[in-house]
Structure 1
Amino acid sequence: MKKNLINAVLLLLVFTVFTNCKKDEYEMIQIAKRISVQEMRALPVGLTKAIPAKRTGKIYIYNDYLFINEPNEGIHIYNNTNPSAPVNMGFLKIPGNVDLAIHNNILYADSFIDLLAFDISNLNGIKQVKRVTDVFNQLYSAGAQKYLYTYKDTLVKKQTYKKGIFKDAAYSSNSLSQSSSTGQGGSMARFTLMNDYLYTVGVNNLSLFDVKTASNPTFLKAINLGWGVETIFPYESKLFIGTNRGMHIFSATDPANPIQLSTYSHIFACDPVVVQGKYAYVTLRTGNMCMQASNQLEVVDIEDPTKPKQVAVYPMQNPHGLSTSGDHLFLCEGNYGIKSFNIANKIKIGNNMLQHLINIKSFDVIAGPKSLIVTGEDGVYQFNYNDAANLKQLSIIKDQL
């Protein structure tokens, strides 16, 4: 009965959209289609020719390569040796994929409820080396039989759908490099690597995988964190986990047995976090799945990780992902652009904005070794950020909607 009701609502939505609408009023979104686990595992996986992305999700850099997730479809691979002219090399098709991390030439990616591992030592001949099944079980639908959801493109009226809703609900994730053998992701990541362990967060847990043998990831356990888990960020043998009610701090000194040190609580809000030195930077925003919140940047003193304390709060417009580099912080403001700040003085950050690019709708950002990489509504931008007060656009990889 419940399934029939859901299908009826979806059909009514589609019918409503296609009646009394002009063509220029449409835009493409993805709606869910239920399939069985057996059908899911029979879907094709692997390297295909280079294609443009219809939409972009998580971003990840590894050596001279840029990996761009297309939510629920797979990963676009670019040679980014020259950030002014990235070269589209191929597409790694992975149904149900929203996040990734790379360690010792092994790429880890989710495929619905499974973790897949790929050998990318030869990017022209990427090979799947392992599938770890049933490790992201929060994606199961209710009922005795296990079902999942794939997504198909559908036209809807523009005013009925605001881009970003699905990104918050399903696509948010990040990680940061801890060694030359590991890549770097953004602040919205749900996958990260540290000390030969892969850590992933779902909506209510932290999962651990042993990747000492990179091509043979082994699931160890899942730690319940309560509802609303969104992002994970590693720093100096600690894991900083953003939730919609606060930030958990875990010690990973024993990487196979992370121990919770504290929780920094705030009002209900979407919550990515990055860390530099003895400070954590947290953004909170309204809209989408994050109701009854404020739009602000919080600075948290974590010198004593068992007793995090707020240092300062700065009002923002609609902050999303963020990244730091030296004395500079780069902050995505969603539909309101991207901002750069001098953060040398923690209690005057609000007075030290260096630049505000208002024409870029930004979701997440990585301050990489060669460029500032920004993902937004219409594609992935790269900037020269040698002068944080004068960001210079190098290139854009545009979505093909």
Structure 2
Amino acid sequence: MKKNLTNAFLILLAFAVFTSCKKDEYETIQIVKMISAKEMRAMPTGLTRATPAKKTGKIYIYKDYLFINEPNEGIHIYNNTNPSAPVNMAFLKIPGNVDLAIHNNILYADNFIDLLAFDLSNINNITLVKRVTDVFSQFNNPGIEKYIYTYKDTVVKKQTYKREMQYVAFSTSSSQASSGQGGSMARFTLMNDYLYTVGTSNLNLFNVKTASDPTFLKTISLGWGVETIFPYDNKLFIGTNRGMRIFSASDPANPVQLSTYSHIFACDPVVVQGKYAYVTLRTGNLCRQASNQLEVVDIEDPTKPKQIAVYPMQNPHGLSTSGDYLFLCEGSYGIKSFNIRDNTKISDNMLQHLNNIKSFDVIAGPKSLIVTGEDGVYQLNYSNAANLRQLSLIKNQF
């Protein structure tokens, strides 16, 4: 059935990914398998009992709830009325899930190549209300049977496995009051009753004016290396590994590119506040050619963004702003807070450096500073940005 290998680069996408486990003598390997789209859609999806996360992905806050993605598995739902004591309520099982966004009590999530819409009106009885098929497919070609990558973590002793390559084969056959808040690493965002999602090379648009009935509109090609998306003031700020792209969404169904702010090859989350964009660049993994730094970009004229300052950092990842303050994740080096009242003197105005939290993304929420780390999700009191205080830790179960 499987024949005619096509598109050589797809082979490179399907190699095993290796990460360190808690104990030195073990490590976790991520085995890549291939299933058909039909088999994918037959996988169990929906609400199950609460369970601890093994790994933390994207985070999202909506009303008094905290949503924590476990990559490729689904979404953990916490009642976060009291950030000092979040309550694990349920797990929304969604195979292949990486990102999410919420609008008018409807949760949107990727399920491999499909977009799913869940009704959160009754948080104890979350229901699937719509599936939009084939919107995230890299091989959405008429007459081609699609195959999907699935991932399974397996813990093994070091040096007891072989590194294997899986091959992809084909067979021929006939962000607002009503929305929540995601982190700077987000690939899903909402603005003006539209859902925008980015893949590695494109921007997808969905009309969600009727929240329970998302409608796919179109895909805009952006070129390879797209990483994140951030909405602000009727504009979309798209982080890529070669720069930041600014789109006007004044006509939300037809975003228009205004400009590109280019930088050296680097991983590139971005957040915006007022007339400034804050961009982090880091080394490591696919970002190996970059410097570790924070860049401040004047976007008062979004057609002509200009760099006004660059600050060396250790290994910056996600970031978030709140008023005069910037909170920046430094990966294995901790999390830092800065006063950004004067953007030309940020490095002189570091307020605190917590080096005991391995931090990757952060949301300055209405009740707490929510930080994803290697061992789980931290919540900090940031009423005094110079004295961040831990309120709770939702610990991963390794």
TM over 0.5: yes
- The residue aligned with 1:393 is 390
Q: Which amino acid aligns with 1:314?
A: Y
TM-score, normalised on structure 1?
0.89
Find the aligned partners of 1:317 and 1:139 in 2 and give their Cα distance.
Answer: 38
Which among 227, 237, 246 is matched to residue 240 of structure 1?
237
Task: Assess if the C-alpha contact under 8 Å between 1:271 and 1:283 holds in 2.
Answer: yes
Displacement of 1:49 in angstroms is 0.3
Q: What's the offset of the Cα at 1:34? A: 1.0
- 1:146 deviates by 1.6
Q: Is the aligned partner of 1:346 residue 2:353?
A: no
CA displacement at 1:33 relative to structure 2: 1.3
What residue number does 2:167 align with? Answer: none
Structure 1 159/195 Cα, relative in aligned 2: closer, same or farther at 3 Å?
farther
Query: Does structure 1 retain, via aligned residues, the 8 Å contact 2:15–2:32?
Result: no
Task: Tell me, yes or no, if structure 1 residue 318 matches structure 2 residue 324.
Answer: no
Say if 1:138 and 1:202, in contact at 8 Å, map to a contact too: no
Which of 168, 179, 182 is the aligned partner of 1:182?
179
Separation (CA, whole Å) in 2 of partners of 1:308 and 1:340: 25
Conserved? CA contact 2:56–2:71, under 8 Å: yes
- Map 1:2-401; keep pairs closer than 5 Å: 24-138=24-138, 144-156=144-156, 177-178=175-176, 180-401=177-398
Residues 139/59 of structure 1: CA separation in 2 closer, same or farther (3 Å cut) = farther
Q: Indicate if the aligned counterparts of 2:269 and 2:317 stay in contact, CA closer than 8 A.
A: yes
- DSSP-derived class of the 1:128 partner: strand
What amino acid sits opposite 1:62 in the alignment? Answer: Y
Distance 2:267 2:385 in 1: 26
CA distance in structure 2 between the aligned counterparts of 1:29 and 1:373, rounded to whole angstroms: 28
C-alpha displacement of 1:156: 4.5
8 Å Cα contact 1:26-1:158 kept in structure 2: yes
Looking at structure 2, the residues matched to 10 and 195 of structure 1 have their Cα atoms a distance apart, in angstroms, of 39
Contact 2:296 2:343 in 1 (8 A): yes
Give the CA deviation at 1:291. Answer: 2.1
SS, match of residue 207 in structure 1: strand
The letter of the residue matching 1:71 is P
How many equivalent pairs are there? 372
How much has 1:153 moved relative to structure 2?
1.6
Q: CA deviation at 1:87?
A: 0.1
Q: Distance in 2 between matches of 1:159 and 1:70?
A: 27
The answer to whether the 8 A contact 2:28-2:154 is kept is yes
| Paired amino acid for 2:129 | V
Indicate the SS of the match to 1:138. coil
- Structure 1 contact 233–273 (Cα < 8 Å) conserved: yes
Per the alignment, residue 171 of structure 2 pairs with none
Q: Which runs of 4+ in 1 moved over 6 A?
A: none
Q: Provide closer, same or farther for how the CA distance between residues 52 and 42 of structure 1 changes in structure 2, counting only shifts above 3 A.
A: same
**Paired letter, 2:395:** K
The worse-fitting range, judged by mean Cα deviation, of 26-35 and 191-200 is: 26-35
C-alpha offsets along residues 59-100 of structure 1, whole Å, 9 cap, x if unaligned?
000000000000000000000000000000000000000000
8 A contact 1:336–1:358 mirrored in 2: yes
Aligned-CA RMSD value: 2.3
Structure with greater proportional helix content? 1
Give the percent of matched residue pairs that are identical in Structure 1 and Structure 2: 81
User: Is the contact between residue 53 and residue 70 of structure 2 (CA under 8 Å) also seen in structure 1?
Assistant: yes
Question: Shift of the alpha carbon at 1:152?
Answer: 1.0
Partner Cα distance (1:345, 1:61) in 2: 29
Cα distance in 2 for residues equivalent to 1:296 and 1:158: 34
After TM superposition, give the deviation of residue 30 of structure 1 in Å.
2.5
Counterpart of 1:350 in 2: which secondary structure? helix
Match of 1:172 in 2: none
CA contact (8 A) 1:286 1:293 kept: yes
What SS is found at the alignment partner of 1:347? coil
SS in structure 2 at match of 1:351: helix
Q: CA deviation at 1:130?
A: 0.2
Displacement, 1:376?
A: 1.1
CA distance in structure 2 between the partners assigned to 1:311 and 1:10 by the alignment: 41
1:157 deviation in Å?
5.7
Q: Which runs of 5+ in 1 are unaligned?
A: 18-22, 161-176
Is the CA contact 1:113–1:139 (under 8 Å) kept in the aligned structure 2? no
Normalised to the residue count of structure 2, the TM-score between the two structures is 0.90
Contact 1:196–1:210 (Cα < 8 Å) also in 2 = yes
